[in-house]
């Protein structure tokens, strides 16, 4: 059984699905601070969910309630910060599937690497994931970076 950690109730599953499917092009076209109707609706839902959880008290055992009452040096997350965490759950889901698909496709396209990987799945998985994200990441903006300063032939410093 999958726990939804207090984020999704029967009433908001459809909203969650609509928001998770808002295409990247919509997000990119709204860089001027204009949110899509789905995102506005999602923000309203999150704000109300935070208010209602705080009003009910810390008795529930779910992620959103835990975030509502988490405290560090007297500071508690505000509605926007909790919303960002919850949006991260959606964003993670929107990129994890394509990342896994891209990596699986790349492994299938390179039989010699696949054979090597299959001999040590546990040991090589971290490297396969890192290389897969570098080689064909699921979203734009996962750029290559060197782990240490280097000069590429032709004088380009990285």
Confidence of residue 12 (pLDDT cuts 50, 70, 90): low
Complete domains list, the chain, with CATH: 10-157 (1.10.630.10)
**Residue 119 pLDDT exceeds 70:** yes
Whether this prediction's pTM lies above 0.85 is answered by no
Position 151 scores a pLDDT of 81
Tokens 């492994």 sit on residue:
107
SS (H, E, C) 92-152: HHHHHHHHHHHHHHHHHHCHHHHHHHHHCHHHHHHHHHHHHHHHHCCCCCCCCCCCCCCEE
Please tell me which of 27-41, 74-88, 107-121 the model is most confident about, judged by mean pLDDT: 107-121
Confidence of residue 23 (pLDDT cuts 50, 70, 90): low
Position 25 scores a pLDDT of 44
Position 4 scores a pLDDT of 47
Contact present, 64 and 6 (Cβ < 8 Å):
yes
What mean pLDDT is predicted for residues 18-47? 64
Q: Cβ neighbours of residue 152 under 8 Å, at least 6 residues apart? A: 158
The encoded tokens of residue 71 equal 């405290």
Q: Which of 19, 101, 86 has the alpha carbon at shortest distance from 49?
A: 86
For 56-100, write each residue's pLDDT tens digit.
Answer: 998 888 888 899 999 889 999 988 888 878 777 766 666 788 888
Average pLDDT, the chain: 77
């Amino acid at each position: 059984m999958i726990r939804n950690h207090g984020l999704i109730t029967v009433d908001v599953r459809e909203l969650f699905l609509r928001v998770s499917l808002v295409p990247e092009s919509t997000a990119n076209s709204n860089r001027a601070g204009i949110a899509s109707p789905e995102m506005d609706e999602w923000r309203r839902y999150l704000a109300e969910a935070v208010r209602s959880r705080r009003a009910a008290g810390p008795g529930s055992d779910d992620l959103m309630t835990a975030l509502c009452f988490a405290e560090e040096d007297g500071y508690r997350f505000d509605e926007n910060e909790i919303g960002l965490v919850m949006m991260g759950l959606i964003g993670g889901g929107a990129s994890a599937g394509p990342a896994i698909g891209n990596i699986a496709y790349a492994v299938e396209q390179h039989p010699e690497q696949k054979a090597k990987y299959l001999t040590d799945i546990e040991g090589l998985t971290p490297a396969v994931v890192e290389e897969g994200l570098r080689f064909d990441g699921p979203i734009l903006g996962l750029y290559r970076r060197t782990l240490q300063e280097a000069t590429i032939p032709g004088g380009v410093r990285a």
